[in-house]
Amino acid sequence: MKIALAGLQKKALEKYIAERYPDFEITEKKPKMVLCYGGDGTLLYAERHYPGIPKALIRNSQVCHHCANIARDTILQLLTDAEYTVERYTKLQAMCKDQQLIALNDIAIGHPKVNGTLRVKVYVNGAQHGDEVLGDGVVVSTPIGSTGYYQSITRSNFAFGIGVAFNNSVNVINNLVLLNDDAITIEITRGPGMVVADNDEIEIPVS
């Protein structure tokens, strides 16, 4: 099987695999699967660089909510024997200033300064939800991302749909869980703001 590796210590994993699992061919071009050697951040990085290709997570971090609690060799042997199933997850697509962002976890809109405050209006399928919101920003999350930033804001998570969380809002407003095909529009009424996806280094400024 052709596989690609992702993670800060992928060279160590590459050597380990080469010595023990000759059925794997390690490549960066057109892999059939990507081994993510790290934690949740490694998964996000791998999905950006190899979108849509199945990912297998091998824990090499204390923070990996999506890692199976089984040994590295067990995972590698199961892959060698083709004893696995592929699960599909929802991703988010955001458009901002003619730029597209894709997220496996979440899209976050916030103030570029830690001590700054953002004013926003939120629209769902064209209809405004609640009043103008004053706070630190908005996080739009997938189910797989709802155990991260979304959960730290709302103290909850969800299994289906799209979540909208209001980060440290001054006025009381409930978080939302919407349908996959609902259209969400965030209007920044007083900024400046910054839009990011997952742990991507790309930041889109919005005035």
Does the bond joining 54 to the residue before it have cis omega, within 30 degrees of 0?
Answer: no
pLDDT at 12 over 90: yes
Average pLDDT over residues 183-197: 96
Instruction: Judge whether 182 and 162 are in contact, CB under 8 Å.
Output: yes
The rounded mean pLDDT for the chain is: 95
Residue with tokens 């703001």: 193
| pLDDT classification of 118: cutoffs 50, 70, 90 | very high
Q: pLDDT per residue over 139-164, tens digit each?
A: 999 999 999 999 999 999 999 999 99
Distance CA 41, CA 31 (A): 20
Claim: this prediction has a pTM higher than 0.75: yes
Interacting residues of 29 by C-beta distance below 8 A, sequence separation 6+:
none
Instruction: Supply the pLDDT for residue 158.
Output: 96
pLDDT at 64 over 90: no
Nearest Cα neighbor of 149 from 135, 162, 138 is: 138
Instruction: Judge whether 39 and 60 are in contact, CB under 8 Å.
Output: yes
Nearest Cα neighbor of 132 from 116, 120, 118 is: 120
Residue with tokens 């709802």: 146
Instruction: Judge whether 132 and 172 are in contact, CB under 8 Å.
Output: no
Instruction: Supply the pLDDT for residue 67.
Output: 86
- What is the DSSP-derived secondary structure letter of residue 30? S
Distance CA 106, CA 143 (A): 9
